[in-house]
Chain A
Amino acid sequence: MSTVAEKRGFLAVLWDYLTTVDHKKIAILYLVSGGFFFLVGGIEAMLIRIQLAIPDNDFVSAGLYNELLTMHGTTMIFLAAMPLLFAFMNAVVPLQIGARDVAFPFLNSLGFWLFFFGGIFLNLSWFLGGAPDAGWTSYASLSLASPGHGIDFYVLGLQISGAGTLIAGINFLVTIINMRAPGMTYMRMPLFTWSTFVASALILFAFPPLTVGLFLMLFDRMFGANFFDVTMGGNTIIWEHLFWIFGHPEVYILILPAFGIFSDIISTFSKKRLFGYAAMVFATVLIGFLGFMVWAHHMFTTGLGPTANAIFAVATMAIAVPTGVKIFNWLLTMWGGSIRFTTPMLYAVAFIPSFVAGGVTGVMLASAAADYQYHDSYFVVAHFHYVIIGGVVLGLLAGTHFYWPKMFGTMLNETLGKITFWLFLIGFHGTFFIQHFLGLMGMPRRIWKFLPNQGLDLFNMISTVGAFFMALAVIVLLYNVVITQIKNVRVGNDPWGDGRTLEWAIPSPPPYYNFKQLPLVRGLDPLWIEKMEGRKEMTPAEPLGDIHMPNNSFIPFVMSLGLFIAAFGAMYQVDWRASDGADYVWSIPVLIIGMLITIGSMAVRSLKDDHGYHIHKEELMDDHDDKGGRE
């Protein structure tokens, strides 16, 4: 069978994607929905910057501004950056380790649909009486006082999508531990696989505190509990701790996979193996480990006392060491390499100084005493945008260009890609570099407007102009995607020509079973080893045989839909109780029906055996024409 899309009806394609358990299609689902939320979060950012372009502006109201900044942060972190990373993890990691799919294809699909419905639920708040407005951190003292259902949307939406993320993380852990091809030892895994592994471990340990925090918040807001209410004997600081015990590792969940993408790009386009591979692996693990010991540096000014502040400050600064190891290893990988400045490589090169700038301000913020000055100013805003955009978003854009051929079988236009790159880079530094100084000049973060003639006018205007450059870059990227898919020029196995790892040894996009025969891995950068010995493809590790495949399933969609419905019931029962049962009488039935749908579909999944199917050897033998073209 050919992997090139056949002409099929729209409904057939839609049904295929709604029921798919194939990691490559789930990757596309993550990419499309993560991309959609990225645009939504981007529009929110543009509205924020337009409001702050000139002093004393009345473009948006104060309340709407709070909702915009809250939803911008929440959307970008939970619904854009993480799903987009999951898109690349799904598309690439099983291929990089020589597996035919992830360990639990059904769970993979469930993880996606939970994330998707959680994200939709959260964003429906815009149309149902107002979005959450207590910042993406949703500190309890603020959020418990927030009227309306905004915070309820935040709590329930993140609870649902967080469950999806946790499932996805566990799935990748099991996949990487158990499904590596023969010869693929831990120390031969590509860096993107390694960073996915560590990031998944962080998800495993970091999301439960968030879940607990969200549940406590849920009980406080919807069922009259008082975990965070100081007047009733609760403690509002506990939310901050729980949030940041999750929140700080979350930053590393985002940045480590981006590091992995850059490591693979830099070694590919320098035509060298990664310098200091073992040190890179060790640094990745160490960053992941230390990431759990530093959360209180977000809370220096809450009055933890000098001892606690000092401990967390020192632990935070310690993270600069493994990060520095990585920076130098990237530089030394490029040193003496035969460098090709393709679009992904441009992103990788620009990432290094941009991220270092974010790291340096990070160390400044880590000094607890100095942090009292920077706290809640635009300096912090500039810092985390340098880390998140200069690290994660550049990584995502680089990954989009680098892995596009492997995901879709076409090459994004390089000229347009470079235009996107320059517009984005200039826009990014234009927007955020100047915000360091705005912060040092005393502009607080999260303010709705500032007054004229306080020395803030010009810099804010420059920042807004920069944001428009970034918006333009994203539009060029979208145009690039559209024309590339319309032209539909197919590419072969290894379109970049210098692929080193297993994913470049099979067609683009790969057939649905990935590897006809599992490859034999003989060292780090297995495809490069074969190339150096004059071969064009991997040596198989097994004879051609039947392949066991999972069946598609609609159950993950229904299971997630049930929770989505139940969430509305859980939320509006507050109004039902407040009105003494007069209004919103449908809320409790809706809650019950939603839960029944979820539990019922779980029961169906558990009770009905689904053994999958086999692709027979004979079919695989007929399938010899899907080798890639360009060599």
Chain B
Amino acid sequence: MAHESTSANPKVNYEYRRRKARDEMRGQVTSFAMMIFMTFIAFIIVIADFDKFYAFPVLLVLAGAQVVLQLYYFMHMSHKGHGTAALFLYSGALIAFVTILTFLTIVWW
């Protein structure tokens, strides 16, 4: 099949590349819209002066979601060949999380 060529020449498999690029663009626009929306919610929460115990977790979750969208859609981690990078990223995040959890529970209690 023609579209399996790995040539770097942009004229090879023009149709296939076009379709891929369109899908990519759709994903990016969607996630961009979602990120704007999440930022909007975050601002609302702060402006509306919600209770701290409600606002902090929601803000953190929204921030986390934005990081994931950023990594996967804008920094191309959803593409093939990023498995090792993802593995090291998550391992690092896990170790940092355990460290912070320990500090919060037994150092700064």
- Write the residues of chain A forming the contact surface with B, with a CB cutoff of 8 angstroms: 173, 177, 201, 204-205, 209, 235, 237-238, 241, 245, 289, 292-293, 296, 304-305, 308
Contact assessment for B107 and A292 in the assembled complex, using a CB-CB cutoff below 8 Å: no
A201, A205, A304 — which one has the most chain B CB atoms within 10 A of its CB? A205
Task: Name the one of B88, B92, B95, B102 contacting A241, with C-beta atoms under 8 angstroms.
Answer: B102
Q: Are B88 and A238 neighbours in the complex by a CB distance under 8 Å? A: no
Residues of chain B lying within 8 A (CB to CB) of residue A293: 98
Which B-chain residue is minimally distant from A305 (CB atoms)? B106
Across the interface, B95 reaches (CB within 8 A) one of A205, A235, A305, namely: A205
8 Å CB contacts to A: which residues of B75-94?
A: 84, 88, 91-92
Check if A238 sits within 8 Å of B107, measured CB to CB.
yes
A241–B105 touching, CB < 8 Å: no
Q: Considering the complex, give the chain B residue whose CB is closest to the CB of A238.
A: B107
Known: A177-B84, A201-B88, A308-B105. 8 other contacts (CB 8 A): A201-B91, A204-B88, A209-B99, A241-B102, A289-B91, A292-B95, A293-B98, A296-B106
Q: List 29 A-B contacts (CB under 8 A).
A: A173-B88, A177-B84, A201-B88, A201-B91, A204-B88, A204-B92, A205-B91, A205-B92, A205-B95, A209-B99, A235-B107, A237-B107, A238-B103, A238-B107, A241-B102, A241-B103, A241-B107, A245-B99, A289-B91, A292-B95, A292-B98, A293-B98, A296-B102, A296-B106, A304-B106, A305-B106, A308-B102, A308-B105, A308-B106
Give the residue name and chain of the A residue nearest to B85 (CB).
A177
Cα of A596 to Cα of B91 in the assembled complex, Å: 36
Number of interface residues of B (CB under 8 A): 12
CA distance A72 to B44 in the complex (A): 59
A241 contacts which chain B residues (CB < 8 A)? 102-103, 107
Q: Chain B contacts of A177 at CB under 8 A?
A: 84
A309's nearest neighbour on chain B, judged by CB, is B106
The distance from the CB of B95 to the nearest CB of chain A, in whole angstroms, is 5
Shortest B84–chain A CB gap in Å is 5
CA distance A296 to B101 in the complex (A): 13
Residues of A within 8 A of B99 (CB): 209, 245
A296 CA to B107 CA in the complex, in Å? 11
Residues of B within 8 A of A173 (CB): 88
Q: A249 — nearest CB in chain B belongs to which residue?
A: B95
Q: Which residue of B lies closest to A302 (CB)?
A: B106
In the complex, chain B residues whose CB is within 8 Å of the CB of A235: 107
Q: How far is the CA of A141 from the CA of B102 in the complex (A)?
A: 21
The 6 closest A-B pairs by CB, nearest first: A308-B106, A292-B95, A304-B106, A205-B95, A177-B84, A245-B99
Task: Give every chain A residue within 8 A of B103 (Cβ-Cβ).
Answer: 238, 241
Chain A residues with Cβ below 8 Å from B105 are 308
Most A C-beta atoms less than 10 A away, residue of B84, B92, B106: B106
> Measured between C-beta atoms, what is the minimum distance from B94 to chain A in Å?
8
Query: Please, which residues of chain B bring their CB within 8 A of the CB of A308?
Result: 102, 105-106
The interface residues of chain A lying within 8 Å CB-to-CB of B95 are 205, 292
Q: What separation, in Å, do the CA atoms of A305 and B95 have in the docked complex?
A: 22
| CA A235 to CA B103, docked complex, whole Å | 12
Contacts of B106 in A (CB 8 A): 296, 304-305, 308
A364 CB to nearest B CB, Å: 23
Distance in Å: Cβ of A265 to nearest Cβ of chain B: 29
Task: Report the minimum CB–CB distance from A70 to chain B (whole Å).
Answer: 25
* Cα distance A204–B95 in the bound complex, in angstroms: 11
List of B residues within 8 angstroms of A209 by Cβ:
99
Report the minimal beta-carbon distance from A307 to chain B, rounded to whole angstroms: 8
A residues near B88, Cβ cutoff 8 Å: 173, 201, 204
* Assembled-state Cα–Cα distance A304/B99 (Å): 14
Kindly state the separation between the CA atoms of A258 and B29 in the bound complex, as whole angstroms: 51
Q: Give residues 50-109 of B contacting A (CB, 8 Å).
A: 84, 88, 91-92, 95, 98-99, 102-103, 105-107
Q: Residue on A with the closest CB to B94?
A: A292
| Alpha-carbon separation in the docked complex, A446 to B1 (Å) | 72
Compute how far the CA of A201 lies from the CA of B95 in the bound complex, rounded to whole angstroms: 12
CA distance A201 to B103 in the complex (A): 23
A173: nearest residue on chain B (CB-CB)? B88
